[in-house]
């Protein structure tokens, strides 16, 4: 009995030879689909390879050391080029080894314990500074960050570390700390020395006044009771004693004033410099009239300071402008203020005899004089007092001058030492 022949959809018989082309078409389609799938996979593999190469390039070109350790025995499985250069070890030597194969036992213990702690905690650990002995560069300091890499179940697989060489920065910080400590010691020694010197100057000056008073008293008594018997020569000697004693007394008073700038300083209070200027001009009224001087004071600010010392400052600077006047004309003195940035400047200008600016620093030292004391009397301490007062108020003093062109003294104060501004700058 023969097999029945296949029928088509309409129930008619189909020739077996007609079925072969359909099977061939299906096979071709299947092959095409397979090729397309292979092409997609190949493209994906190429992209993955490209990404791997890109990631590899990044890791190799990062300037910091990057290392990877397996979690079980903490053996190295990866090290980048920067790590090779830092440690002085080829990666082929390092792979499969642990810290104990390359570093001193104490360092290896520290690294291993740190790694274990990271793996136990499962969190990032940031080690700001850790020492490491390298083959090629000796002792280095690293800033290291470590983080665990886990599988899908949360179990640690690897430990990833990134280390930055901070040796130069740390050495610079240590040098800076040493310098700052040395500066603090020097400042402390200087402050102590200055305090001792000021105390010595105060005590010595104070103790000298009593015998000086006796010298003056007995010289006066000698002239009063025995003037006629002394004769011209004796009277001249007595007068010289009296003059020397007077100069010595003025010198001692100025030394006391200089030492008191810091040793007996008072707390700062609000000081109206306009009131200070008015009081000083009242004190100098006779000298101003005798010199036919013109003194103009612009509107000044209110500052936080020591009113007694501010008065000394104004008295010395305006008094000097009157004393060192030119013979070419009447003295003209101006006092003003201006703000520059975060600083306030008090400006004392005159048209006096002036001086060569190469002596600018010298005139602020005690007992330094540029002119004869016979022509311009004084102890040579006044400007030293001015500088000390300015420094005590957190400022400084400078001067601009030229022979025959007068002088301009500028007292600089921090703006934080002033209050109640802005102020008017109109002449008064």
Of 28-37, 46-55, 56-65, 250-259, highest mean pLDDT: 56-65
User: Which CATH number does the domain 171-264 belong to among 1.10.10, 1.10.287, 1.10.357, 1.10.150?
Assistant: 1.10.287
Least confident of 33-47, 189-203, 218-232, 364-378: 364-378
320 in Cβ contact with 309 (< 8 Å) = no
Task: List pLDDT tens digits, range 242-265.
Answer: 777 777 776 677 666 666 666 556
Q: Which residues contact 326 (CB under 8 A, 6 or more apart)?
A: 351, 352, 353, 404, 406
Residue 228 has pLDDT above 90, yes or no: no
Angstrom CA distances, 194 to 185, 199, 294, stand at 14, 8, 39
Tokens standing for residue 276:
């200070």
Q: Quick one: DSSP state of residue 6? A: P
Q: What is the pLDDT of residue 216?
A: 79
Residue 237 has pLDDT above 90, yes or no: no
Q: Which CATH class is domain 266-419?
A: alpha beta
Mean pLDDT value of segment 330-336: 92
What confidence category does residue 21 fall into, taking pLDDT thresholds of 50, 70 and 90? low
Q: What is the pLDDT of residue 312?
A: 87
337 in Cβ contact with 425 (< 8 Å) = yes
Q: Which residue has the tokens 């095409």?
A: 32
Q: Which residue has the tokens 């702690």?
A: 117
Domain 63-165 fold is Beta-Lactamase (3.30.450)
Residue 145 has pLDDT above 70, yes or no: yes
Residue 229 has pLDDT above 50, yes or no: yes
Task: Please give the model's pTM, rounded to 2 decimal places.
Answer: 0.46
Distance CA 383, CA 317 (A): 8
Task: List pLDDT tens digits, range 151-183.
Answer: 888 899 999 999 999 999 999 999 999 999 988
Distance CA 25, CA 392 (A): 104
Angstrom CA distances, 283 to 273, 319, 389, stand at 15, 10, 20
Residue 199 has pLDDT above 60, yes or no: yes
Residue 359 has pLDDT above 70, yes or no: no
- Looking at the chain, the whole-number percentage of residues with pLDDT higher than 90 is 32
Task: List pLDDT tens digits, range 376-427.
Answer: 555 567 788 888 888 888 888 888 888 888 889 999 987 655 544 434 433 3
Residue 348 has pLDDT above 90, yes or no: yes
Distance CA 203, CA 197 (A): 10
Query: Where are the domains positioned within the chain?
Result: 63-165, 171-264, 266-419
Least confident of 20-29, 325-334, 416-425: 416-425
Residue 125 has pLDDT above 80, yes or no: yes
Sheet arrangement for strand 65-70? 76-79, 65-70, 156-165, 138-150, 125-134
Task: Tell me if domain 63-165 and domain 266-419 are identical in fold.
Answer: no
- Looking at the chain, the whole-number percentage of residues with pLDDT higher than 70 is 78
The mean pLDDT of the chain is 80
Burial class (CB in 10 A: 0-12, 13-18, 19+), 265: middle
Q: Which residues contact 110 (CB under 8 A, 6 or more apart)?
A: 130
Task: List pLDDT tens digits, range 203-225.
Answer: 666 666 677 778 878 888 888 88
Residue 58 has pLDDT above 50, yes or no: yes
Mean pLDDT value of segment 306-327: 87
Mean pLDDT value of segment 119-137: 91
Q: What is the pLDDT of residue 124?
A: 93
Mean pLDDT value of segment 315-332: 87
């Amino acid at each position: 009995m023969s097999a029945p022949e296949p029928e088509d959809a309409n129930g008619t018989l189909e020739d077996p030879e007609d079925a072969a082309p359909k099977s061939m078409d299906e096979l071709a389609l299947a092959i095409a689909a397979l090729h397309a799938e292979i092409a997609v996979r190949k493209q994906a593999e190429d992209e993955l390879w490209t990404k791997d190469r890109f990631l590899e390039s990044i890791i190799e070109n990062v300037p910091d050391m990057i290392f990877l350790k397996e979690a079980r025995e903490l053996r190295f499985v990866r090290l980048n080029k920067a790590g090779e250069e830092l440690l002085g070890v080829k990666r082929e030597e390092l792979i499969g080894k642990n810290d104990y194969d390359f570093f001193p036992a104490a360092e290896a213990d520290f690294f291993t314990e740190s790694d274990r702690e990271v793996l136990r905690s499962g969190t990032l650990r940031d080690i700001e500074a850790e020492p490491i002995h390298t083959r090629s560069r000796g002792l280095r300091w690293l800033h290291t960050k470590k983080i665990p890499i886990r599988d899908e179940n949360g179990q640690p697989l690897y430990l990833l570390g990134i280390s930055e060489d901070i040796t130069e920065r740390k050495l610079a910080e240590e040098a800076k700390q040493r310098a700052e400590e040395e500066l603090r010691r020097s400042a402390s020694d200087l402050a102590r020395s200055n305090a001792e010197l000021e105390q010595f100057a105060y005590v010595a000056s104070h103790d000298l006044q009593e015998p000086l008073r006796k010298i003056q008293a007995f010289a006066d008594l000698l002239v009063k009771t025995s003037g006629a018997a002394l004769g011209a020569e004796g009277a001249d000697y007595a007068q010289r004693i009296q003059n020397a004693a007077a100069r010595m007394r003025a010198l001692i008073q100025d030394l006391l004033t200089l030492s008191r700038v810091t040793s007996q300083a008072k707390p700062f209070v609000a000081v109206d410099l306009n009131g200070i200027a008015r009081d000083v001009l009242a004190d100098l009224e006779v000298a101003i009239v005798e010199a036919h001087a013109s003194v103009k004071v612009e509107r000044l600010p209110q500052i936080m300071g020591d009113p007694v010392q501010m008065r000394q400052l104004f008295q010395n600077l305006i008094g000097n402008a009157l004393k060192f006047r030119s013979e070419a004309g009447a003295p003209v003195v101006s006092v003003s203020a201006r703000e520059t940035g975060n600083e306030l400047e008090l400006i004392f200008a005159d048209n006096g005899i002036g001086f060569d600016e190469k002596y600018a620093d010298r005139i602020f030292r005690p007992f330094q004089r540029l002119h004869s004391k016979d022509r311009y009397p004084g102890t040579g301490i006044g400007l030293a007092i001015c500088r000390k007062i300015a420094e005590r108020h957190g400022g400084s003093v400078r001067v601009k001058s030229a022979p025959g062109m007068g002088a301009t003294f500028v007292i600089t104060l921090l703006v934080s030492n002033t209050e109640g501004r802005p102020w008017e700058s109109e002449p008064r």
